[in-house]
């Protein structure tokens, strides 16, 4: 009887151990998938910021047509929350942009980037700002920046229901339920 009990207990331990290993493997796979999806989402938005700036550089050469050109570009790229700031002070979208982090960082970094998250004071939603600098025709001088806000809710949709705090150096901020 004791021998049978011991064998059954050992078998149950092995089954539990195998189950835990299986759960761990599933969890690791789910985290890897979420990280891959988050990476794709970030790359897609950084590429969109770069396209926004390149199209704006190419088309928005005249101050008279700047706003119309920018609006057409943002509609083509499906970026309704886009904005533009020029060193001259011309702007489309957000006001007082020259002191904002997104504009300053675009001038300094000279490449597409994202910052945030930040809470939108009007909607209460959290979003990341994706932006890129605008260069002159020689590609040496930054004369402005273009950017857009992307709600964190879109990142949540990209990675599904998995919430990650920090994995492989990437920090993902979950969207607050009900917002």
More confident residue, 130 or 57: 130
Choose from 4-8, 32-36, 61-65, 148-152 the range with maximum mean pLDDT: 148-152
* pLDDT tens per residue, range 76-95: 888 878 888 888 777 777 67
* CA–CA gap between residue 84 and residue 133 (Å, rounded): 10
Contact 158, 174 (CB under 8 A): no
DSSP conformation letters of 18-74: HHHHHHHHHHHHHHHHHHHHHHHHHHHHHHHHHHHHHHHHHH---TTTHHHHHHHHH
Distance CA(150)–CA(153), nearest Å, equals 8
**Predicted pLDDT at 167:** 47
Q: Give tens-digit pLDDT for 163-178.
A: 544 444 444 444 444 4
What's the CA angle centered on 93, arms 140 and 90, to 5 degrees?
A: 50
Whether 26 shows a pLDDT value over 70: the answer reads: no
Task: Please report how many Cα atoms fall inside a 13 Å half-sphere around the Cα of residue 134, on the Cβ side.
Answer: 23
């Amino acid at each position: 009887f004791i021998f049978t009990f011991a064998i059954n207990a050992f078998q149950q331990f092995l089954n539990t151990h195998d189950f835990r290993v299986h759960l761990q493997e599933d969890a690791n796979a789910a985290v890897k998938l979420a990280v891959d999806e988050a990476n794709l989402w970030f790359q897609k938005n950084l590429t969109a910021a770069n396209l926004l700036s390149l199209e704006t550089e190419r088309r928005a050469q005249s101050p008279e047509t700047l706003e119309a050109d920018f609006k057409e570009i943002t509609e083509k790229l499906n970026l309704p929350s886009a904005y533009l700031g020029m060193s001259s002070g011309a702007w489309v979208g957000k006001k007082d942009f020259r002191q904002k982090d997104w504009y300053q960082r675009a001038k300094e970094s000279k490449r597409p980037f994202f910052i945030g998250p930040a809470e939108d004071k009007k909607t209460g939603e959290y979003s990341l700002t994706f932006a890129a600098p605008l260069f002159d025709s020689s590609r040496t001088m930054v004369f402005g920046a273009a950017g857009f806000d992307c709600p964190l809710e879109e990142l949540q949709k990209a990675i599904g229901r998995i919430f990650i705090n920090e994995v492989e150096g990437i920090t993902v901020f979950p969207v607050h339920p009900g917002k």
